[in-house]
């Protein structure tokens, strides 16, 4: 199982409207392919943090990973 | 007639003598108002021909470059305070009316531009004013007010305002000059020439926004200028070259901003505080005087918590407020206490990071209370967050202890020696208190991103002519392109961001409106053409930023800020930042790529 958390307005891409959910682990699934699966356009994504660490879209997801997906931010 | 009365008559006559009434000259557009605080003379000038396409930061920096001796004393008579609305200020396009304030900074000793939302950009443009240049020093101790309306410009004084807080000052000035007035003012910290002093600008709701950084408030204070009042003219001098085309394009941009969930939804609810969780997640959230990059209570300080609290408490609490007329992004808010009574407006990310997690506060109420006090003193919340962090580590207050932090701010209000030390910024505070880690670059405190875990911002703090200033090109907004912990690509990233942000600062745009503008830069070219009738090539748009950054760096080098000072403090290179355990290790040749 892989934990996924969608931040802020990315939650609208979750089927159930949940910000946090789990998905089944699949071999060789990258963060980019996870976005496709969730139908989130990559342009909407500002960054991925996996197990507390920044990762790029080519990161290969491991079983039991905890993935946070943040939208593009414009700064503070 | 008693002696006191004679003095009054003398003062009134004196006031009439130097109050300059200029009914006719003000009528034309694009004037520069020059105010000499020594002679009290107010002049209206035609701008130089090559200032035609300059506004905001491009204009403040250019006037400083042309007129201010780089080696001058920032609080002396040779420094000038320049106030300039952006090039598109007052027009119908969303988020385009920011005001730039420039001078030689008493904090960095280099050139400075700090910009703010509020009403004054719009009202200056509607009055046909391209810039105000305040020069020289008064030989008296009066608190001067520069009043501008469409019929006259006058310089008077009101010593009842002396050393009053920013909130009391604007309340009194609104009463005297009417509600439909834009005010720029300083608090007691600025009047006392403290180097962390900011300049407050009123917004359409009478709330305060701040041109906060670099000690611009101390320069205004050195000039004896307590406030600038700009009335909303009956007849706006904003004239479009092609009104129909401009309004059509403005409508398209506004629609795009509203359709984008970032600017059309999240900013309205969560404001800039929406990034707390994300900065914490990458380990770059300033925590306990920059000793940690993540805070266990970050969730309590997040935009989501802020929004839920404001909605739950109700009363005067509100989100989705515009800080400039016509802004559709509406990221301002009013944060209330448990009874629904306003504590402060606007609670925003940088303050939450520096005054919240950086001082160990796990609740927004304490941040809001400290925020209000810092605002009222007329100080920069970022600089003061750094100052208080250093003071806590030196044993002068405690992490997460509101009372102990408020006590230190009280020292500033009382103008005690300790208060003066703190009010002069983190570099001076750190040196006086014997701190061996001072979170500052070129004399200015770090904003809300630890440069070790967001290395693009480390490059920015080291290279920007503004010192440690996130608004000069925040790498946090870069879209998943560059690993924030990587040593690579940070120089180029920072260079591009600096150019783009300086261009926006010159046009008067808020950086949050950049989506439609950067997607197709010809949009900016077209806005300029439809407004001013001046045609430029699309790729030349960025020259506004490039040319400004070049003259700013040249000014700084002449001011004695050598390239050897393009550095971060030593602790950033050797002290590992948990939880990423990163240090700032971007190679010098990569850092140099960010020099423009």
Q: Tell me how many degrees the CA angle B520-B526-B528 measures, rounded to the nearest 5.
A: 120
Cβ pair B448:A76 closer than 8 A: yes
Which residue among B266, B281, B470 places its CB closest to the CB of A76?
B470
Using DSSP's 3-state secondary structure scheme, residue B321 falls into strand
B581 Cβ neighbours under 8 A, 6+ residues apart: none
Q: Does any CB of chain B come closer than 8 Å to the CB of residue A53?
A: yes
Which residues face B121 on adjacent strands?
none
Which residue among A12, A53, A70 places its CB closest to the CB of B278?
A70
Under the banding of pLDDT at 50, 70 and 90, the label for residue B256 is: very high
Residues 331-360 of B with CB under 8 A from A: 348-350, 353
Q: Does any CB of chain B come closer than 8 Å to the CB of residue A8?
A: yes
**Nearest residue in B to A32, CA atom:** B480
Cβ pair A74:B514 closer than 8 A: yes
Helices B243-259 & B522-532 angle (0-180, nearest 10): 150
Under the banding of pLDDT at 50, 70 and 90, the label for residue B4 is: low
In this prediction, residue B481 carries a pLDDT of 79
Longest distance between any two alpha carbons in chain B, whole Å: 78
Buried b (16+ CB within 10 A) or exposed e, B313-345: beebbbbebbbbbbbbbbbbbbbbbeeeebbbb
B218 touches B194 (CB < 8 A)? yes
Chain A residues in contact with B470 by the CB 8 A cut-off are 75-76
Q: What is the DSSP string of B533-558?
A: -----GGGGGHHHHHHHHHHHHHHHH
Q: What is the mean pLDDT of residues B251-270?
A: 96
Rounded CA gap, B326 and A4, in Å? 38
pLDDT in tens, B519-557: 999 999 999 999 999 999 999 999 999 999 999 999 999
Chain A residues in contact with B511 by the CB 8 A cut-off are 74-75
The tokens of B282 are what?
């990458």
The DSSP output letter for B416 is -
In this prediction, residue B105 carries a pLDDT of 98
pLDDT in tens, B61-103: 999 999 999 999 999 999 999 999 999 999 999 999 999 999 9
Does the predicted TM-score (pTM) go above 0.90?
yes
Q: Does any CB of chain A come closer than 8 Å to the CB of residue B259?
A: no
In this prediction, residue A41 carries a pLDDT of 95
Q: What is the mean pLDDT of residues B424-439?
A: 98
The DSSP output letter for B47 is P
In this prediction, residue B13 carries a pLDDT of 44
Rounded CA gap, B424 and B195, in Å? 4
Residues 288-327 of B with CB under 8 A from A: 303-304
Q: What is the mean pLDDT of residues B134-146?
A: 98
The tokens of B566 are what?
């393009």
Average pLDDT, chain B: 95
How high is the mean pLDDT in each 10-residue block of chain A (76 residues)? 95 84 96 96 94 94 97 87
Q: What is the mean pLDDT of residues B279-305?
A: 98
Under the banding of pLDDT at 50, 70 and 90, the label for residue B16 is: very low
Is the Cα torsion angle A37, B270, A49, B441 positive or negative in sign? positive
Residues present in chain A in total: 76
CA–CA distance from B396 to each of B180, B418, B438 (Å)?
Answer: 43, 10, 16
Cβ pair B580:A12 closer than 8 A: no
Rounded CA gap, B518 and B489, in Å? 20
Nearest C-alpha of chain A: how many angstroms from B477?
5
Q: What is the mean pLDDT of residues B400-424?
A: 98
The alpha carbon of residue B509 and the mean position of all alpha carbons in its chain are separated, in whole angstroms, by 13
Q: For chains A and B, what is the number of CB pairs under 8 angstroms?
A: 84
Cβ pair B470:A70 closer than 8 A: no
The tokens of B361 are what?
């506060």
CA–CA distance from A73 to each of A34, B254, B274, B422 (Å)?
Answer: 20, 18, 9, 33
In a mutagenesis test of the A interface, which of B257, B270, B275 is the best target, namely the one with the most A β-carbons within 10 Å?
A: B275
Rounded CA gap, B108 and B190, in Å? 16
Which residue among A54, A70, A74 places its CB closest to the CB of B512?
A74
Q: Does any CB of chain A come closer than 8 Å to the CB of residue B450?
A: no
Chain A residues in contact with B477 by the CB 8 A cut-off are 46, 72-75
Rounded CA gap, B249 and B468, in Å? 35
Per cent of chain B over pLDDT 90 is: 94
In this prediction, residue A14 carries a pLDDT of 86
In this prediction, residue B477 carries a pLDDT of 74
Which residues face A3 on adjacent strands?
A22, A66
Using DSSP's 3-state secondary structure scheme, residue B441 falls into strand
CA–CA distance from B357 to each of B281, B300, B309 (Å)?
Answer: 14, 10, 18
Q: What is the mean pLDDT of residues B302-321?
A: 98
In this prediction, residue B514 carries a pLDDT of 95
Q: What is the DSSP string of B224-241?
A: TEEEEEEE--SS-----T
B257 Cβ neighbours under 8 A, 6+ residues apart: B94, B95, B263, B264, B328, B329, B513, B515, B516
Q: With a cut of 50, say whether residue B21 has pLDDT above it.
A: no
**Nearest residue in B to A54, CA atom:** B282
Q: Does any CB of chain B come closer than 8 Å to the CB of residue A41?
A: no
Q: What is the mean pLDDT of residues B472-483?
A: 86
Q: With a cut of 60, say whether residue B27 has pLDDT above it.
A: no
Q: With a cut of 80, say whether residue B195 has pLDDT above it.
A: yes
Rounded CA gap, B389 and B257, in Å? 37
In this prediction, residue B28 carries a pLDDT of 53
Q: With a cut of 70, say whether residue B22 has pLDDT above it.
A: no
Per cent of chain B over pLDDT 70 is: 95
Nearest C-alpha of chain B: how many angstroms from A59?
12
Rounded CA gap, B161 and B140, in Å? 15
Chain B residues in contact with A47 by the CB 8 A cut-off are 278, 282, 480
* Residue B95 φ/ψ region, left for φ over 0, alpha for ψ in the -120 to 50 degree band, beta for the rest: left
In this prediction, residue A74 carries a pLDDT of 86
Q: Does any CB of chain B come closer than 8 Å to the CB of residue A39?
A: no
């Amino acid at each position: 199982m892989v934990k996924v958390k969608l931040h802020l307005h990315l939650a609208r891409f979750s089927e159930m409207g949940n910000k946090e959910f789990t998905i089944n682990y699949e071999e060789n699934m990258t963060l980019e392919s996870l976005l496709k699966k969730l139908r989130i356009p990559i342009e909407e994504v500002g960054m991925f943090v996996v197990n507390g660490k920044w990762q790029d879209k080519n990161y290969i997801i491991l079983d039991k990973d905890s993935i946070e997906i943040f939208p593009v931010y414009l700064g503070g | 007639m008693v002696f006191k009365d004679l003095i009054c008559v003398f003062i009134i006559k004196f006031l009439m003598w130097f109050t300059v009434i200029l009914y006719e000259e003000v009528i034309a557009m694009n004037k520069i108002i020059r105010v000499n605080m020594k002679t009290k003379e107010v002049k209206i000038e035609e701008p130089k021909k090559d200032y035609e396409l300059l506004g905001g930061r491009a204009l403040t920096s250019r006037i400083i470059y042309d007129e201010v001796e780089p080696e001058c004393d920032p609080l002396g008579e040779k420094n000038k305070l320049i106030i300039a609305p952006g090039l598109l200020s007052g027009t119908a396009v969303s988020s385009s009316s920011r005001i730039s304030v420039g001078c030689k900074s008493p904090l960095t000793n280099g050139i400075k531009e700090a910009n703010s939302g509020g009403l004054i950009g719009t009202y200056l443009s509607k009055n046909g004013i391209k810039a105000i240049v305040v020069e020289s020093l008064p030989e008296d101790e009066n608190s001067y007010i520069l009043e501008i309306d469409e019929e006259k410009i006058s310089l008077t004084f009101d010593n009842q305002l002396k050393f009053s807080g920013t909130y009391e000052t604007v309340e009194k000035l609104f009463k005297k000059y009417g509600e439909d007035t834009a005010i720029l003012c300083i608090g007691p910290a600025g009047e006392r020439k403290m180097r962390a002093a900011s300049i407050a600008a009123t917004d359409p709701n009478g709330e305060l926004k701040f041109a906060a950084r670099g000690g611009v408030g101390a320069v205004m204070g050195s000039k004896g200028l307590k406030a600038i009042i700009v009335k909303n003219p009956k007849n706006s001098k904003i004239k479009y070259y092609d009104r129909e085309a401009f309004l059509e394009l403005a409508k398209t941009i506004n629609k795009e901003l509203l359709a984008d969930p970032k600017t059309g939804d999240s900013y309205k609810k969560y404001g800039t505080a929406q990034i707390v969780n994300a900065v914490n997640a990458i380990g770059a959230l300033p925590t306990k005087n920059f000793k940690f990059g993540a805070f266990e209570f970050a969730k309590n300080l997040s935009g989501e918590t802020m929004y839920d609290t404001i909605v739950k408490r109700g009363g005067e609490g509100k989100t989705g407020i515009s800080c400039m007329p016509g802004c559709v992004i509406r990221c301002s808010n009013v944060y209330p206490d448990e009874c629904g009574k306003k504590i402060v407006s606007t609670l925003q990310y940088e303050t939450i990071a520096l005054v919240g997690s950086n001082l160990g506060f796990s609740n927004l109420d304490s941040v809001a209370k400290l925020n209000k006090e810092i605002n009222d003193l007329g100080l920069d919340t970022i600089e003061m967050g750094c100052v208080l962090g250093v003071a806590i580590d030196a044993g002068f207050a405690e992490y997460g202890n509101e009372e102990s932090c408020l006590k230190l701010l009280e020292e500033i209000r009382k103008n005690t020696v300790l208060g003066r030390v703190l009010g002069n910024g983190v570099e001076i505070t750190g040196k006086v208190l014997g701190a061996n880690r001072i979170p500052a670059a070129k004399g200015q405190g770090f904003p809300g991103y630890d440069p070790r875990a967001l290395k693009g911002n480390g490059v920015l703090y080291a290279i920007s002519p503004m010192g440690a200033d996130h608004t000069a090109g925040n790498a946090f907004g870069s879209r998943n392109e560059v690993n924030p912990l990587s040593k690579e690509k940070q120089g180029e990233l920072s260079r591009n961001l600096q150019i783009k942000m300086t261009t926006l600062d010159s046009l008067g745009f808020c950086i949050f409106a950049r989506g439609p503008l950067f997607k197709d830069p010809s949009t900016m070219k077209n806005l300029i053409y439809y407004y001013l009738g001046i045609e430029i090539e699309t790729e030349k748009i960025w020259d506004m930023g490039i040319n400004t950054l070049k003259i700013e760096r040249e000014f700084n080098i002449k001011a004695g800020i050598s390239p050897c000072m393009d550095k971060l403090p030593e602790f950033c290179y050797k002290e590992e930042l948990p939880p990423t355990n990163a240090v700032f290790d971007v190679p010098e040749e990569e850092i140099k790529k960010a020099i423009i």
